[in-house]
Every structure is written in structure tokens, then in C-alpha cells.
Amino acid sequence: VTSSARRTGRRPGESGTRDAILEAARRSFGTAGLSGTTIRGVARDAGVDPALVHHYFGTKDALFAAAVELPVDPATLPPLLLAGGLDGLGERIVRTFLQIWDGTPGQGPMLALLRGAVTDETAAASLRDLLTRVLFRPLAEAAGGPDGAALRASLAASQMGGLALARYVVKVEPLASADPDVVAPVVGATLDRYLSG
């Protein structure tokens, strides 16, 4: 594992530091999961100041997204989706989800996350944290209030996890090739029902 700075013989500068942080982050997420990882621990392992980790990557969730190479930081999605209001929220969630997955060639990072979760308990715990705390808990609380939000969030997570599984992994046709305009309204209605209770 050689940083590009070292490969080119330059002194480790910004990109070398970033690479060292990402390597330390991947080690920590791999062994302690998303919830067991701290910015401070990653900084120590990378030999840098925690402020530098914050400076380069922002929050721990954003660091996780960068470490597993997700095309977006999932934590940015709920505020973005809720900015459009509760009307049509479910359909907007599905459209955004399909845009991100369809727009990522081979769905590499997301499939790696899903494959990891199916075979490794630490990876499963990270995905669980991502699906509930980061993604669907805020959406369920906004759509239907705090009462029973955890169950409503986990139901929504089950439908979206299943959509990923059926469309991109098991490739169940015709869902796997269906146009987002066909999928978004029908699956979106399920999400609206789950999220608002």
C-alpha cells in the first residue's frame, strides 16, 4: 500500500496525509465498524492531529463514505430529501437511490458494502448503523414523528435493501432493468406508508 506521493518520490504532502488517514480509517472501520470508530482513534493511528481528519473529511460518517468510496456521503441525503417536503418523499428517495446506484458503474462500492454485510458481522453492523441512524431514522422521524420511528425506519430499510438486492445483486427481471419512472412511484408509495406509519 503505497501512497501516490511516495510512488512519485515526493515528500508526503496533502495527498500522502489523506492516504494515511484513509488507510487508518479502513483498518478501524474493518475491525471496529462504523459505530466503534472514532476520528481521534483514526488520527492517532495515522499519526496526525484529529483536526486534520476533520479538515480533510468532515464528520466520521463522511470519513466512512470516503473510506469505502461511496459516491455520496449518506448523511447528506436526508436533509436534501426532506428539503422537498413530505409530499412525494418516498418517490424522491427511490429516484435518488436509483440515480446513485445506476450512476455508479458496476455499483462497486455499494455492492462491496452489501457483500461485506452478508459475510461479516462488523460490516453488517456498519451497514445497520448507516441504514438506520444515518439514513432512515431521520426520514422516519420527519415523516411520522418520534413514536415508533425506529420500527418505521427499519421497515423502510428492508424495502430499500431488498430493492438493491433484487435489482443489482440477484438481478430479478424485469425489476433489474425497469425504468426509474416505473419503479419510483410504486416503491415510493411503500416507503411513504412505512415512514409516516
Residues within the interface to a second copy (CB under 8 A): 114-115, 117-119, 124, 127-128, 131-132, 150-151, 154-155, 157-163, 165-167, 169-176, 178, 182, 186-187, 189-190, 193-194
CB closer to a second copy, 2 vs 177 = 177
Shortest reach from residue 82's CB to a second copy, in Å: 21
What the block records as the C-alpha cell of 2 is 503505497
Shortest reach from residue 34's CB to a second copy, in Å: 13
CB closer to a second copy, 32 vs 166 = 166
What the block records as the C-alpha cell of 20 is 494515511
What DSSP designation does 175 have?
A: G
What DSSP designation does 172 have?
A: -
Shortest reach from residue 153's CB to a second copy, in Å: 8
CB closer to a second copy, 18 vs 78 = 78
CB closer to a second copy, 51 vs 151 = 151
Shortest reach from residue 44's CB to a second copy, in Å: 30
Identity at 71, one-letter amino acid code: P
Are 19 and 3 in contact, with CB atoms under 8 Å apart?
yes
Shortest reach from residue 168's CB to a second copy, in Å: 10
CB closer to a second copy, 67 vs 160 = 160
CA 69 to chain centre: 10
* Residues 6 or more apart in contact with residue 71 via CB below 8 angstroms: 100, 103, 104, 109
End-to-end CA distance of the chain: 48
14-41 exposure pattern, b = at least 16 Cβ within 10 A, e = fewer: eebbbbbbbbbbbbbbbebbbeebebeb
